[in-house]
Structure 1
Amino acid sequence: MSTLKIISWNCRGSANSRTMSRIKALMRSHQPNLICLVETRSDHNRAINFCSKFTRSWHWAAIPAQGFSGGIVTLWKQRVGMVTPIATSRFALHLIISSENPSQWILTVIYNAQNIQFQKGLWMELEIFSSFDLPWILVGDFNAILTCEEHRGGRFDNYSHKSKLFNKFINNNRLFDLGYIGSPFTWCNNQIGLARRWARPDRVLANNEWVSKFESYFNKHLPRTAPDHSPLLLTATSLSQQKHRVFRFDNYWFDYNACHVNVSKAWNSRTTANPMQAITHFIAKTKSNLCKWKSKDLTPLDEHIKKVEEEILQHEALESTLDYSDLISIALRGLYNKHNALLRQNTLRLAQRAKLLWIKHGDYNSHFFHRHAKIRAHRNKVYALLTEQGDLLYDQVSIS
């Protein structure tokens, strides 16, 4: 599955014929893999009746509404993979999905309560899932906003306490808001004049593990039309085509004499061009020399570290045998030093990518640096482009 599409919508009741027509129109136009509907206001029998209206290629799981409040229905296509509901509560439906990429991940569909005490209970319940070392994504209506910019009309005092708890939950569980394309608000009370209110209670959150599994993603706020909530369309893509790589100088190359030789060779070459052209030629020559040296003679750090660790294991295996000697002991100390030097180089490389060169002490947090760099790459990527004609382009070929 190279592209994952999830539609999330607070439909304000699933029995309405207009709601059913809108859902089927969304299916036809966007071809989603999963559809997450909240505030369905459907009890057990109504949820079964609602889901039976879809073809056999769709499977479903639901949380019945209590009276005229709440209710969650999630539908998924067979091609998504094996989907297993692992836990349910009044305000959240949790599904574990086994697929090709990511191999195993958790989807949590949320319709949070308005009452702040119930919200506290849900945040505590969800903290259990952050302890799982699995990709995790949360979609739905959180009935809370993060900042005062996420509402218009009325006073922020109505949101402030819920906002503090919501921000605390996101920070404590190391989640990311995946942002949006389109209108800044997903809810409107549809009143007229000064009584009109807007907010963004619907959103998509994900952890580091989920974000790192995809090359690109974007969350689009679809038109609100008749109801008071906008549907959300999340598209996450694993790109298989080869990307054009930008040349970047790694600071750990300074540890290699061949790096200095290639740079010196480039800048000492003769040229008959004027000074400005000569500098351009020298820089291009430097890049060319370093690229050739890197591809031919420089072993990738991860591969080099693995190779040295295998040599250390071979030498350490001899310590309990009669073949062990002082020469092996000396060789082993040399391998230890080499391994430490490679770890230092790898930390420097990842810290440079993560823009964290100010870190001078502490453990080798290579895993942290790698994740930080991955998040920066996603934030720097252009996922959509608005043309002068007002058209939104999403595929990378058209954007290029």
Structure 2
Amino acid sequence: MRLPFDSVVVNLSADIWVLFSAPIACTIIGNSSQHITLLVHHPWLPRSLCFSFVHARCTMEERRILWQDLLTDKPTSLPWCVCGDFNVIIDPHEKRGGRPFARAEGMELLSFMEEAEVFDAGFSGSSYTWCNNRRGRERIWKRLDRLLINGAFSDAVSSVSVAHLARHPSDHAPLRIGLASRMDNKPRPFRFLNLWTDRKDLLEVIRNAWQLECTGSPLRKLCSKLVKARRVIQEWNKEAFGNIFIAVHRAESDLLAAENRVEEDESGDAQVELQKAQAKLRLALSNEERFWSQKARVKWLRHGDRNSKYFHATVQQRRVQGAIHRMQNESGAWVEDDEGIASMAVRYFSELFSEPGGASGDLLHLIPRIVTGDDNETLETCPSLEEVKRVIFAMDGDSSAGPDGFTGKFFTFAWEVIAHDVYQAVLSFFCGAELPRFITSTSIVLIPKACGDIAKTGVIATDGFCQG
């Protein structure tokens, strides 16, 4: 049988074959009896990609050699993915049947992943990729095959999908890996960055925007002013901060130039310029770290060494594993295009949230009366300005922004400017005013929990801070 490929490379034991066709070109940079590492070139790629294909042995002693070989091949900065049969699992959910999973079993692969700085790209399809094909209680399923990628690979290929296909006739399921740019060039919503509050001139920018004359109820006035503030903050940010990642690169270049000057010029002016460049880089790196910290929403890590790399990796892993690449519709067919997946999600949740509820009037007698008349009167009493302020300042300023894009930090930072309008909006709510769509809108985020089944998809709803 002739396969439609131009070239093939194999590892030392000839149990890993990599077939490819022009214009793809491959260079072997690592080879052993358990793996082969290739540098892949293509005219359409902005830079080369590094791929390691593995077929691990069954014993821990032999796999130690594999981990060391892979770490030797690890690229310093190139995108890198490691895929294949690792012959080991890392979690009890990756096994069914046989003896119970011991945590020590997964430590070797977890240790390698930590040292190699790679993470699991996730999957869709069956939960397991291997079965011993025995009957009854002797049958064992495991997820032995997976795709691991580093942060550079996640940046280079914005959408990575891994599908577990049918095992038959093998005991292993083939992995279908898709690389696409589905999430590229999509409009990015406004998100208030808490690091902006370091600039005192932001408060004046908000104050000027807040002078907008508005008509309507206090709630609608607040919404209109928030929309105006959002626009002017975006324009202000272009001048005040710009692209924080480009700022880091520029600061690094300026520091290098200043260091080179000091090597040739020991004057006081050269030393001053060096110190300014160092301070500029520290500020740029601090802004970058705080950006990724807010994106990662990791609240238990506050102090210590620079954490930008960790925060960035957390965001990348969440983004890759949280992407939904396909859904199974009511007839069992797989839907893989963006429009089809979106249509399924909208239809499912529209039907779910519009289902008529059963009559509950005859069940009221089962609910104990805990709130007294005095308590109810207290709850209905309009709060004071100080009470509203106390509640807003007690809320988490680092929580995720809602559809309006504003975090709690915005409201505490700009309180002296926005306090009156916020308080009037609260009083309007207590008086029974209708809530505008701007206030009631909610962002619904689907989190894959079961492969392909939208009914088992986790849902996170983020409300605006005004709803909190």
Per the normalisation by structure 1, the TM-score is 0.72
Q: Residue 271 in 1 paired to residue 220 in 2? A: no
CA shift in 2, pair 1:96/1:318, >3 Å: closer
Q: Residue 299 in 1 paired to residue 245 in 2? A: no
Task: Give secondary structure in 2 for the equivalent of 1:190.
Answer: coil
CA shift in 2, pair 1:172/1:375, >3 Å: same
Q: CA deviation at 1:147?
A: 1.8
Which residue number in structure 2 is paired with residue 40 of structure 1? none
Which residue number in structure 2 is paired with residue 152 of structure 1? 96
Q: Residue 382 in 1 paired to residue 324 in 2? A: yes
Q: Residue 94 in 1 paired to residue 43 in 2? A: no
Q: CA deviation at 1:247?
A: 0.7
Q: CA deviation at 1:249?
A: 0.7
- Equivalent residues of 1:181, 1:220 under 8 A apart: yes
1:1-400 maps to which residues of 2 (within 5 A)?
Answer: 53-55=2-4, 57-63=5-11, 71-79=15-23, 81-99=24-42, 100-101=44-45, 103-130=47-74, 132-156=76-100, 162-239=105-182, 242-295=185-238, 299-304=242-247, 313=257, 317=261, 337=279, 340-356=282-298, 361-362=303-304, 364-400=306-342
In structure 1, C-alpha distance between the alignment counterparts of 2:138 and 2:178, rounded to whole Å: 34
Which residue number in structure 1 is paired with residue 417 of structure 2? none
Which residue number in structure 2 is paired with residue 5 of structure 1? none
Letter in structure 1 aligned against 2:29: I
Q: CA deviation at 1:137?
A: 1.6
- 1:200-224 per-residue CA deviation (whole Å, 9 max, x = no partner) reads 1122122222222211111000112
Letter in structure 2 aligned against 1:235: G
Q: CA deviation at 1:76?
A: 1.3
Gapped regions of structure 2 (runs ≥ 5)? 343-468
Gapped regions of structure 1 (runs ≥ 5)? 1-49
CA shift in 2, pair 1:267/1:221, >3 Å: same
- Equivalent residues of 1:187, 1:198 under 8 A apart: yes
Which residue number in structure 2 is paired with residue 23 of structure 1? none
Task: Give secondary structure in 2 for the equivalent of 1:378.
Answer: helix
CA RMSD of aligned residues (A): 3.5
In structure 2, C-alpha distance between the alignment counterparts of 1:228 and 1:261, rounded to whole Å: 66
Task: Give secondary structure in 1 for the equivalent of 2:156.
Answer: coil
Task: Give secondary structure in 2 for the equivalent of 1:86.
Answer: strand
Letter in structure 1 aligned against 2:194: N
Q: CA deviation at 1:166?
A: 2.6
In structure 2, C-alpha distance between the alignment counterparts of 1:178 and 1:62, rounded to whole Å: 25
CA shift in 2, pair 1:223/1:256, >3 Å: same
CA shift in 2, pair 1:202/1:102, >3 Å: farther
After TM superposition, the structure 1 stretch with the greater mean CA deviation from structure 2, 206-215 or 124-133, is: 124-133
CA shift in 2, pair 1:304/1:206, >3 Å: closer
CA shift in 2, pair 1:229/1:339, >3 Å: closer
In structure 1, C-alpha distance between the alignment counterparts of 2:77 and 2:111, rounded to whole Å: 20
Q: CA deviation at 1:60?
A: 0.4
Per the normalisation by structure 2, the TM-score is 0.62
In structure 2, C-alpha distance between the alignment counterparts of 1:239 and 1:290, rounded to whole Å: 29
Task: Give secondary structure in 2 for the equivalent of 1:206.
Answer: strand
- Equivalent residues of 1:101, 1:213 under 8 A apart: no
In structure 1, C-alpha distance between the alignment counterparts of 2:103 and 2:289, rounded to whole Å: 41
- 1:129-159 per-residue CA deviation (whole Å, 9 max, x = no partner) reads 23644322222222221122212122136x7
- Equivalent residues of 1:212, 1:371 under 8 A apart: no
After TM superposition, the structure 1 stretch with the greater mean CA deviation from structure 2, 141-150 or 187-196, is: 187-196
